[in-house]
Structure 1
């Protein structure tokens, strides 16, 4: 079966905070995986598909953090839990943030291939 993703995803636990736009709901979690195209993480709120969220992503070991807008592509309720797993894609990610994120992902992939 062929991989349908446009970007390689890496399993990475990074700090992420989110704000559902335009409401005032917000929260913070740890990412499950990330690519240059988007992020997979958990939230406590049932958020409608195609919603826009403002996020702040922190990469501690560089150190680097950035704000970005993302669009909710899919949402799945976690059984036996009061949370939801979501997949979001970046919307107009600033070039500096994109460049840093791509370099970070490449570094992680190189390290994992050496191991």
Structure 2
């Protein structure tokens, strides 16, 4: 008997696998993370031993095809990966310039159509 897996995400997600910078609201320092995957709804991040609590607002700097996108996101969940001493964090976009979001949409659609998710 086959079990159907129901996708809960509202937006197509693609692999990103690239470094990005983030800044917690109210803190002057930028930190580094890896963007693991991205959709029009948000990003999956991997941080170096840095817990960021759910509901925290974070500014991002994401390089997409030599264009820097600067959305603000809200942390939805954060899980420790003990064997690597890193945190996997899920964030959703809460503030995103309309032109930057449109650019990201074109990139996601083009990547998804060319390579699949």
TM over 0.5: yes
Where does the alignment leave 5 or more consecutive residues of structure 1 unmatched? none
CA distance in 2, matches of 1:14, 1:101: 15
Partner of 2:61, secondary structure, is strand
Match among 77, 80, 84 for residue 81 of structure 1: 84
CA RMSD of aligned residues (A): 1.3
* Alpha-carbon displacement from aligned partner over 1:69-105 (angstroms, at most 9, x marks no partner): 1000000101212210100011121101110000000
* Alpha-carbon displacement from aligned partner over 1:44-63 (angstroms, at most 9, x marks no partner): 3111110000110001xx32
CA distance in 1, matches of 2:87, 2:107: 27
Match among 13, 18, 25 for residue 22 of structure 2: 18
CA distance in 1, matches of 2:89, 2:83: 16
Across the two proteins, how many residue pairs are aligned to each other?
Answer: 111
Match among 94, 110, 113 for residue 110 of structure 1: 113
8 Å Cα contact 2:13-2:39 kept in structure 1: yes
Cα 1:73–1:40, aligned 2, differ >3 Å: closer, same or farther? same
CA distance in 2, matches of 1:25, 1:55: 12
Where does the alignment leave 5 or more consecutive residues of structure 2 unmatched? none
1:67 aligns to 2:70 (yes or no) = yes
Please give the TM-score of this superposition, normalised by the length of structure 1.
0.89
1:28 aligns to 2:32 (yes or no) = yes
CA distance in 2, matches of 1:8, 1:92: 19
CA distance in 2, matches of 1:32, 1:101: 15
1:25 deviates by 4.5
Partner of 2:82, secondary structure, is coil
Match among 59, 62, 67 for residue 54 of structure 1: 59
* Alpha-carbon displacement from aligned partner over 1:19-68 (angstroms, at most 9, x marks no partner): 11112353112211000110001113111110000110001xx3211111
